[in-house]
Structure formats: structure tokens, C-alpha cells
A and B are shown apart, each in its own frame.
Chain A
Amino acid sequence: MRVLVVEDEQDLAEAIATGLRREGYAVDLAHAGDEALVKARVYPYDLICLDLNLPALGGREVCRAIRSEERPDGAPQPRILMLTARAGVDDRIAGLDDGADDYLVKPFELGELAARARALLRRNGDGGPGPLRVGSLELDPARHEAAQAGAPLALTPKEFALLRYFMTRPGQALSEFELLTHVWDENANPLTRTVRVTVMTLRRKLAGNPIETVQGVGYRLREDT
């Protein structure tokens, strides 16, 4: 899951990014509205945490612009979670009317931010609340635990994030490029074989080779593992 955090306060942006990375998200940062819009046009973010009070281009304008545009590669619209220090009802109504999916008032708990992010991403059709289950695989995003046939798996954060992305799309063939843009952040080098390497290490930790290679396309998580 790829997340863009747009916040002009450097200290706050860093803290949010660290918190979300810990949850297994690939997080990019933007500190101004125009920068956020450029990144949102280039990368298919699953979630955008958007501060309302931004230099150059306000959060509401960014939100409206994102909602009015086609996504780069026909990807679904990102979920938008607005972050703001303005707690008035009018502000909240305006934010939601601009196309935000949810609203969080500063100061907030990082735990609540993470929970709302999970809830919003669930609404993408990624299954109901609680752990994800595909065959014998089980993954709980909130507790950050994964298991196969009841036996806990020791996964690195990147492997965990990758498995989670596979488990939200069981049976679908996913290209390396899609995995790279959704599971890795903008600092990943697309010329390295980082996706292939991580898929390989993940495969090694899973019994029965549930992730199969689809010739000419990429990888697929078998539903009957």
C-alpha cells in the first residue's frame, strides 16, 4: 500500500511517515500543495494524507484537483484523509464536499491515523475488517502479524507489505511495476531487482509456493494455498 503524506510542518510530516512506515506502508512525503499534486499525478497512491493548510496550493484545491483528474494508468482514485487543525463543522463539511473520504483533527494519535488508514483502504474492496485470509495464510494488518496454517511467519516490513498486497488481490496477476509502485516508495530504484528479490525471499518463508510466476506478466497469489 502506497501512501502520500502532505504536510508542510517538517517535524509532523516525518513523524506521520515514520508511524505509517512502521505499519508497513510505502510512504512518500510532500511539503507543499503543488508538489503533492505532481506526485499524485505520477504515482498511483492508495491513500493520501492531506493537510488542509498548505503553502503554494491549499489542501482543498489539491483534493479537488485530484478528484477531477484521471489517474495516470487508469488506477482507482486514491483514498484521501484530510488532516487539519480546524475543528469547525463547516471546515469538515467543506473538506468532505471537496472529495475527502475522511477527516482527522490535529492533534491526533498516530494509532488513530493508522486505524483510519486501514479502514479507508478496506473500503477499496480489500475485504472486511480484521485479519485477511487466503487459503491457509492469515495476515492481521492492525497487529502486524502473519501466519501460515497457524504457524507465525517472521517477515521483514517489506515482505509483510508485499504479502499484504498479494492477499488483498488473491488470484490476480500482478506486474512487477504494479508491485513497485504500490509497495515501494519513491526512493526505490526501479532499475534494481528489488521487487524480484523481495518476492524471492518471501517465497522462501512460505510453504507450498503459494506465489506463482505468471509468464510475461508477473506474480499471482494462489487462492487455494
Chain B
Amino acid sequence: MKSFLGSIRVRLTLLYSGVLFLVAAVLVASLYLGLSLSLRDEPVSHAVVVERVPVNDGSRTEERTLVDAQAFEQQVNARTLRNLRTFSLGGLAALFVASLAVGWVIAGRVLAPIAQITSVAREIQARELSRRIELDGPDDELKRLADTFDSMLARLDLAFASQRRFVADASHELRTPLAIIKANLDLALTDAQATEESRATAAAVIRRAIDRMARLTDDLLALARLDAPAAAREPVSLGAVLLDAREELSAAAKTRGVEVDAAAGPAGIVHGDRDVLKRAATNLLDNAIRLARSRVRLAHGELDGWAWLAVSDDGPGIASEHRESIFDRFWRADDGRARPGGGSGLGLAIVRQIAEAHRGSVEVYSEPGAGATFVIWLPRTAAGEAPAVDPTRAAALA
């Protein structure tokens, strides 16, 4: 019984025919009641029909009842009501049966798309998210439900695909230095005539490959940590963050002979995780030092409820068609050589993720040949979109 009632189709049918039956019963009952009351209160005939009949010699007449109209009316009424009762009850019973059948059919038709949605949803496994329900029919509630479902599947599909690609890319990036290490070890260990010098070369190459793997695993770990929402929220000065980053990379800048200037500006206090924000600044500065010809400039400030920090280099710049993709994980320009200076390919992806985790954004302004400026916008009091201007230029104009 319980499983029988567990079907929406059965419940809908019962509800539908029950309500219909109830309404019909009330209607019929009130008709019956009203009719019977009106018949009782307002008899059509007030009296008996009387005929004056001359008595004896006709000197007088005598009333004689021909028909007792009232009794007659009463009898007729009683019969009519009885018939009405019989027909009504019969009709009600027939209506109930018919409504059950009609209700069953209608409920089935209404619920058919749900059965379709259920069967597709059951068939879809996590690995095979390309299937869609693609419900046909008018734009009604169920169609919208199915469409919502489809768009959710599309988003999941996209997310899974990007996850798979990320894992494939990451393992690809790890395999290359592994191949270098293995090949050089093979060379150094199998050559009986290996000289001290060739061994030293192999060791240097292996060390480079290991450094690269270490950087990559660090960055992978950083990305994974950023996915967790447990970032600390404390007041952080972007100016101080930039100075920290500059200090951390001063040795690298010196090695490359790049000068790093920091412009003074308002403190730019935002709420966020100091270490994480410093990592974003360090990644930008690290890129800038690797690409700059001679000079890197740091700046920070506030604009329209936003705080910003900017890192500019005088390097080769970025072609306009690449300005979006450089923030993708493991992105590489098609015409590019191996990544300059052996970056992991995750640096800018991490920067963007950090900016977005702080409800901010990162923008790049560049002219090929004239260097690039990366700007991180973080909200102080503002919400929504960051100003679409290069603040280092805006400050110069103001």
C-alpha cells in the first residue's frame, strides 16, 4: 500500500478524482437540498379543488372535494426527489470512476517528462557528462527544469574537463624534467670513459631539472591551497606587500642586472591574507625581473574604493591576442620557445586566483616592445567591477 501511494501518479489521480467527486457531491447535495426545501415551503396548490355540487333540489349547494391537490403535489414531489436522488448517486458513482480514469491518464501525461529526466540522470555517470536531457515541448515548468538540469550538466562537464586537462598538463610538465634527469643519469652512469667534466655537466643539468620540478610542485601546492577557503582576513598594506616582494627577489634582480624602483603612494589597506597577497606580488615581480631589459617599476595606490598594486617591466611586452591566455595554467605562446627562465607556467594563474579569492581582479596593459604592466585590483569599500584603467597612467595624468 505504501509503495502504491509512493507513486506521484497514483496520488495525483486520487487527489484529482477525490476533489472532483467532493465538489460534485456537494453540488448535487445542495441542489437536492435546495430543491426539496423549496418544494416543501412553496406548494403550488394552496387548497383542494372543490366543486359545488347542487344538493337535492338545487336550493343549496354542497362542497365536495374533487382532488386533494396538496396531497397529490406532495406525492409527485416525493417521487421526483427520489428519482433525483437515485440519478445523482448513480451519476456521482459514474463520475468518480470516470475521473479516476481521466486523472490517471492526465497524471501520466504530465509526469512523462519527469520519467525521461530520471532515466537520463540515472544513465549519466561522472565520467560521461556529455549527455543531455534535451526535453522537447512547450516552455513550461518541466521544460525549464530539464533545461536547468542540462546547463548544470554542461557546467559540470566543463569543470571535469578542465580538471582532467589540468592533471594531464601537470603530469606532462613533471615528466619533462624527469626525462632529463633519467637521460643524464643514464649517460653519466653507463659511460666507462666519463670524464670529471662530463659528470659535472650532467650533475648541473640534473640540478636544473630538479629545481624546476621543485618550483612546479610548490606552485601546484599553492594552487591546491588556494582552492581551500580558509584564507585569513586581516588588514594588509599593499605597499608593504610590494616592498616585501622586492626584498625577497633582490638577489635575483641583482643577478640579472635589473633595477627595481618602488614609487611611493597611499598605503592601500585591504583585508586579506598577507602571505597569499605577497605571493601574488612575488610572482608578478619574478616574471618582470626575468623579462625586463633593465628596469622594473612597482607602484600602488587607491582609486574609487579600490586599492591597486602594479608591476611594470620594460621587456618584450605581450601581444594583444595573448593577453587573456597568459593567465591560463601552463599556457605557452605558439611561437614561443621554452618558458623564459624556466617558470612553472602556473605563476600568473596563481596571481589571478589570489586576486579573485580576494574579490578583486588582475589586469595587464602592454604594448609589444614597450613592456607590460600587471595590475592587481582589490576592493576596499567597493563591490562589483574594478575600474578599467591603467592606474599607473591615471596617476601620471592626474
Q: Are B208 and A11 in contact (CB under 8 A)?
A: yes
Q: Are A12 and B334 in contact (CB under 8 A)?
A: no
B7 at the interface (CB under 8 A from A): no
Q: Digit string of A8-20 for contact with B (CB within 8 Å is 1, else 0)?
A: 1111101110110
With A22-B191, A86-B168 as given contacts, are A12 and B186 in contact (CB-CB < 8 Å)?
A: no
A200 at the interface (CB under 8 A from B): no
State A53–B323 Cα separation when bound (angstroms).
22
Q: Are A108 and B332 in contact (CB under 8 A)?
A: no
A128 at the interface (CB under 8 A from B): no
Total contacting residues, chain B, CB less than 8 A: 26
A217 at the interface (CB under 8 A from B): no
With A22-B191, A109-B186 as given contacts, are A15 and B180 in contact (CB-CB < 8 Å)?
A: yes
* Closest chain A residue to B208, Cβ basis: A11
State A137–B201 Cα separation when bound (angstroms).
38
What DSSP secondary structure best describes chain B's contact surface? helix
Q: Are A108 and B168 in contact (CB under 8 A)?
A: no
Chain B nearest Cβ from A192, distance in angstroms: 26
State A157–B190 Cα separation when bound (angstroms).
16
State A86–B172 Cα separation when bound (angstroms).
6
- B180-200 contacts to A, CB under 8 A, are 180-184, 186-187, 190-191
A85 at the interface (CB under 8 A from B): yes
Could you jot down 18 A-B contacts, CB within 8 Å?
A9-B338, A11-B184, A12-B179, A12-B180, A15-B187, A18-B187, A19-B186, A55-B335, A56-B335, A85-B175, A85-B179, A86-B172, A87-B171, A105-B175, A107-B178, A108-B179, A109-B186, A111-B190
Chain B residues near A (Cβ < 8 Å):
168, 171-173, 175-176, 178-184, 186-187, 190-191, 205, 208-209, 332, 334-338
In the complex, given contacts A11-B180, A18-B187, A88-B168, what are 14 additional A-B residue pairs having Cβ atoms less than 8 angstroms apart?
A9-B179, A10-B338, A11-B205, A12-B176, A56-B334, A85-B176, A87-B171, A107-B175, A107-B179, A107-B181, A108-B182, A109-B182, A110-B182, A110-B187
